[in-house]
Amino acid sequence: MVGLLLAACGTEQQASEVHSEGTWEPLPNLELSEYGLYASFDANDRYLAWIEMYENQVFVYDLNADSLAHQISIPRGEGPGEAEQMFSLAISPDNRIFITRPNDPRVLRLNAAQFEGVETVQLAEIPARIKAAGHDLVALTLNAPDKLMVRLPTDGGREIALGGDELDIDDVFGPNPFLQAGHITTSDEHAVFSAQYMPMHVVYTLDSNAHNQTITYEDVSDVRSNASSAQSESGMRAVVPPGEVDLLLHNTAGVPNEPTRLAKLLEGEGGRNGSYSLDNLYIYDWTANEILNSIALPAKGKQVVSNSSDLFLYSEENYTVYRYLPERE
């Protein structure tokens, strides 16, 4: 059974018994529709932003004013089907919003001043997910067989493959590109890829763009085997799901003021370490390779995001966005 996230020195039972004290408070003056499909939340110290997939809209919430600042309609793309929809959003420290669309090498950039003008930035790679890293973007690429993540200067500079030739993609993930699906977190020093279906993190050092380390938690052979079987049944090299996985990483975010810690929404079985549910948020340290504690959630988590001071949670169970308020001594 494939498990994720706990080292031999920790157990899920121990992790589940250690809960951080604090409360989750709904963001004031924000009501989301039960008919909306909200995704790709991101935050800086001023704004929380996200997309609504059905209506092609971007929502921007002002964290200082405690109110919704902007609701922006984005022009639909010219491509067929899903290429017209928005897919991933990132907001930079200087309040620029970047948006990707499936199978499209262009990134939409919203004007920083009033979030009104929409520009297009042409990229060499098709970005699946993006995250701000200072004034640059870090992108997860699924179409490039020789690279996992790239750094995209937003000033028009040349794209940089993180890790260079230090990471053999096929050797790490196997032949199925679907296993490269995952989430990105960034800090001042690192960019971390957290695999969605694999018990694995890949860490990069941003000042040198070098591969720092690849961390695996338990045996990945079952996941690779399932993925290879699904790929063989499809009859071609395609991005196909790896079949049943014991543990699914739904979302992850950096922990404020803790550059080596990640907040994770996990669901499923953790091998010898028990089970995980979306009723809790699990705090993991990738240098220690263990879960340090868990935080009970007010409703089942869908997305978690952070800025330099706060954790935020979106629950699709009640269409509410929460801010975490830790207990102060």
**86 CB contacts (<8 Å, ≥6 apart)?**
40, 51, 53, 56, 58, 74, 99, 100, 101, 108
Sheet holding 149-153, edge to edge: 127-133, 136-141, 149-153, 160-161
Note the pTM of the prediction, 2 decimals.
Answer: 0.86
What domains lie within the chain, and their CATH numbers?
Answer: 12-326 (2.120.10.30)
Query: With bands split at pLDDT 50, 70 and 90, how would you rate the model's confidence at 132?
Result: very high
pLDDT digits (tens, 9 = 90+) for 148-197: 888 988 776 778 889 876 777 777 777 667 778 889 999 999 999 998 88
pLDDT digits (tens, 9 = 90+) for 207-252: 999 999 988 766 666 666 666 665 555 544 444 455 566 778 999 9
Q: How far is CA 100 from the centre of its chain?
A: 14
pLDDT in the model for residue 8: 30
Residue in this structure with the two tokens 């790709």, named with its chain if needed: 40
